[in-house]
Chain A
Amino acid sequence: MTEATGTPFVLNTDKGLETSLRGFLRQLLESGNIGALILPLKVPSGDSFAWIMLNDAGMIDDAVPFPATMPVQGAKALRSLTRKERGELTVMALMRPCEIRAGIELSKLGQVNTENLILATYDCAGAVPLQSYVSDPAAAEKNFKEFFITGEPDQNAKPICASCTDFSMVDSDIHFGYFGVREKGMLVIPGTVRGTDLLKKMDLQTASGSELLPVWKAEVEKLTEKRSSVRKIVFKKTEKDISGFTGMLNVFENCIGCHNCQSVCPVCYCRLCYFGSEASRTNPEAMVNEAVKRGGISLPPDRIMFHTGRLAHMSLSCVSCGQCTDACPVSIPVADVFSFVAEQTQHTFEYKAGRNDGKPLPLRDFKKSELPGVHKLVKDAEPGGTSHE
């Protein structure tokens, strides 16, 4: 959990969390300190949500600040807004912590300019899988309400949510905290200097949050602990399932090669990916030879290579949002595998994706005398540490 930089204050929640948050956002927009807001709105048919950048405060009534599902990963919305220059207007985005984390990761990758973006997050109870939402929105809303209240994602939530430990305050500018205190109010917590400045400018006459803050913190810690234990169990299972070349084949054997997992991935940012490019195509003659040599090969080729390749390319930036599992038409637990591998690779490079901690992307950086985790993996080449220094 990231610490607050300024003084938190409390919003009255007598009329419910959503109403109180809408009221605050309206004030924010009307104060002129924010040029536009990025919020989810229900699509006209009512069976999904879309990100809308709105300037008309009247539209805020239609916004759903806590959407039950996650159709487009918010970082993708942020990415489409990337401006080369610093614009005049500040835009604020209210998103789930995993979406904001992906946005921060994309800013490190040079794909999002956060200079005049205010990133806001809220305590996330989890999301319903997109497929269940689209097939029965009413039932999904009902299911969502259940875990939205407890803060503990159940079997109706996306599987990854139950094992997510970064569900509350992340490195966002402003965080809205309500776990454990929702009856008494919603905490508005500034997380950065920018967030603090913005809230100061608004000059709101509201109650101080110093009383509720410890209650909220304790609740978040309690939930984090619960989710960590789930995470351990999920990781153990994944490790067992995926283990070895045959494990890998078993997990991914149903893959139909649609590359959905890649196209919904918020951090898989290359406009032209190697997979799917001309360069990745195998020469037909070589494939025939391969079939002769092996006795047979599956076509189109390179399914396993696609997944392992993506693991190698993207696991260091994986924020475990679970969009890949959500988008998989054949129910492969892609996110479990990614999340598990990401934990190991990020640990090796002493890196955590989605943090604004000033650490550069591991592959853009190096140390002449490498990190212990990295050194351990290359010590064959450098038995006595790095030579020639």
Chain B
Amino acid sequence: MNKEFTPRITSFLCKWCSYTGADLAGTSRLQYSTSIIPLQVMCSSRVDPVFLLKAYLSGSDGVLMGGCHPGDCHYETGNYHTRRRFALVKEVFDSLGLESARLKLSWISASEGPKFARVANEYTEEIRKLGENPTRKSIFL
């Protein structure tokens, strides 16, 4: 492949922590991977399993879920539910033999701009190694 593979990573970021963290990375002029496609959700627990599946089956090479650290949720317990739901989807992926490495959960607080940039870069690299999502070229979905 001559052209370098640029992954697309759909990122569900909660308004109160991770999205703000991403914002901070920007305002701090930290360079981070352009593969990240940020989507703001009011709480990471708003992300239904179907959102992750839709992103995966629509050809996202990676799906990133960002929420407040456990114990710091703006809605107190939202991210605890996120954690369970994420684990569930991951388990379904594992059972079906799908590449569960294409799903990633990360706790990023509003003050962790550098952490956001680091997670974004590291995850992009991970996905780059994994290659293109096989669903991208599939017709019989």
Contacts and interface: CB of A to CB of B under 8 A. Distances in A.
A298 B95 contact: no
Contacts of B96: 242-244, 247-248, 308, 311, 341
A245 B53 contact: no
A296 B70 contact: no
Given A309-B49, A312-B88, A387-B70, A363 B139 contact: no
Nearest to B135: A245
Interface stretch (A89-97, A107-115, A373-381): A373-381
A363 B88 contact: yes
A388 B72 contact: yes
A184 interface: no
A365 B87 CA distance: 13
A141 interface: no
Interface in B13-71: 48-50, 53-54, 57-59, 69-71
Interface residues of B, number: 42
Interface in B86-133: 86-92, 94-98, 104-107
A382 B141 contact: no
A344 B90 CA distance: 11
Given A274-B50, A374-B84, A389-B71, A294 B137 contact: yes
Contacts of A253: 140
A380 B105 contact: yes
B89 A312 contact: yes
Contacts of A380: 104-106
Contacts of B48: 274
Interface string A357-383: 000001101111010011001101110
Given A242-B97, A294-B137, A344 B91 contact: yes
B138 A294 contact: yes
A186 interface: no
Given A303-B141, A368-B70, A381 B92 contact: no
B141 A301 contact: yes
B106 A381 contact: yes
B83 interface: yes
Contacts of A304: 57, 141
Interface residues of A toward B: which range? 35 or more
Contacts of A55: none
A249 interface: yes
A137 B104 CA distance: 52
B88 A345 contact: yes
Contacts of B89: 312
B105 A243 contact: no
Contacts of A302: 57, 141
A61 B2 CA distance: 78
B107 to A, nearest CB: 5
Interface string A228-250: 00000000000100111111110
Given A245-B135, A344-B91, A348-B91, A363 B84 contact: yes
A312 B138 contact: no
A315 interface: yes
A344 B83 contact: no
A312 B97 contact: no
A51 interface: no
A341 B83 contact: no
B46 to A, nearest CB: 14
Interface of B: 48-50, 53-54, 57-59, 69-72, 77, 80-81, 83-92, 94-98, 104-107, 134-141
Given A308-B92, A374-B87, 8 more contacts: A253-B140, A308-B53, A312-B88, A345-B88, A362-B88, A363-B85, A365-B84, A368-B80
10 contacts: A253-B140, A274-B50, A294-B59, A296-B139, A303-B140, A309-B53, A344-B94, A366-B77, A368-B71, A377-B91
Interface of A: 239, 242-249, 253, 274, 290, 294-298, 301-305, 308-309, 311-313, 315-316, 340-341, 344-345, 348-349, 362-363, 365-368, 370, 373-374, 377-378, 380-382, 386-389
User: Closest 8 CB pairs between A and B?
Assistant: A243-B97, A312-B49, A366-B80, A377-B87, A388-B71, A344-B95, A374-B87, A381-B105
